Structure formats: structure tokens, C-alpha cells
């Protein structure tokens, strides 16, 4: 692989073209849609886990992946905070592919701005 999408975003000197954003989003959405069909939730989608080679994007790092049909409760300490869905922030022990879709939405919002969002967690 050439680099991660994170590397592409932070090293991009001019905004991505709309056609580039559309193509990247389409590829990522195809991958995200494929994961639950295999019975899993990725739980750590972020630009550094999206690998880019010759304008082809592949999803990587399945370390936090869990089975959708798992009857054991999920942990809430997964995903990078900037890509964490509300149900994970609220420490729900039951969630599904929606957490990956939320992360995808954040990634889609980052692409036009050429910057990755940061979240600082402070104790309440």
C-alpha cells in the first residue's frame, strides 16, 4: 500500500476535487457495507485505517472488529474519539453497524476540508 487516507489528507496541499471525494466515499462505503454481510462490526474506522494504493481504498486494521451476532456485551472503549458514535460515548453495551456508519460520516466530513478532526476528552 502507498499510504493511509490520513497521510493523503494531511499531505494534500490543495482541496480534493469533488470527483475525488465522491470516488473515495463510494469505495469506503462499499467496504463498510460489506463488513456486516460477513457478520462483523469494524468499530475502528478512521482515515489511518483506510489504505490507499493507486486511488484504490481498502479497509484495514480489524483489531477491534467484533461479530454482529455476539451475545456478549460490546465494550465502549473502542474507536478513536473523533470517530466514536454517540452510543459508544454513552457507554452502551449494545450497538451495531451504525457505529461504523457514524465513523464513515465523520470521514466524509473531513475530506472537503483536508483536515482530520480532533476530540479532546476531559473528565466530567
**CA separation, residue 97 to residues 21, 55, 61, 65 (Å):** 22, 25, 16, 11
Marked catalytic residue, from 44, 61, 96, 100: 44
Give every CB contact of residue 53 below 8 A, 6+ residues apart in sequence: 1, 2
8 class by beta-carbon count within 10 Å (0-12 exposed, 13-18 middle, 19+ buried): buried
Among the listed residues 5, 23, 113, 117, the one whose alpha carbon sits nearest the alpha carbon of residue 61: 5
Instruction: Provide the grid cell at 115.
Output: 483536515
Q: Could you confirm whether 44 is annotated as catalytic?
A: yes
Kindly list the catalytic residues: 44
Amino acid at each position: 500500500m502507498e499510504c493511509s487516507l490520513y497521510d493523503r489528507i494531511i499531505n494534500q496541499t490543495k482541496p480534493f476535487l469533488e470527483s475525488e471525494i465522491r470516488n473515495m466515499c463510494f469505495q469506503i462505503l462499499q467496504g463498510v457495507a460489506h463488513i456486516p454481510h460477513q457478520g462483523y462490526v469494524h468499530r475502528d474506522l478512521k482515515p489511518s485505517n483506510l489504505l490507499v494504493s493507486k486511488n484504490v481504498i481498502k479497509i484495514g486494521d480489524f483489531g477491534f472488529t467484533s461479530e454482529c451476532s455476539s451475545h456478549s456485551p460490546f465494550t465502549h472503549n473502542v474507536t478513536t474519539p473523533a470517530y466514536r458514535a454517540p452510543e459508544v460515548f454513552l457507554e452502551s453495551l449494545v450497538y451495531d453497524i451504525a457505529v461504523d456508519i457514524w465513523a464513515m460520516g465523520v470521514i466524509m466530513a473531513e475530506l472537503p476540508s483536508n483536515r482530520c478532526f480532533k476530540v479532546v476528552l476531559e473528565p466530567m
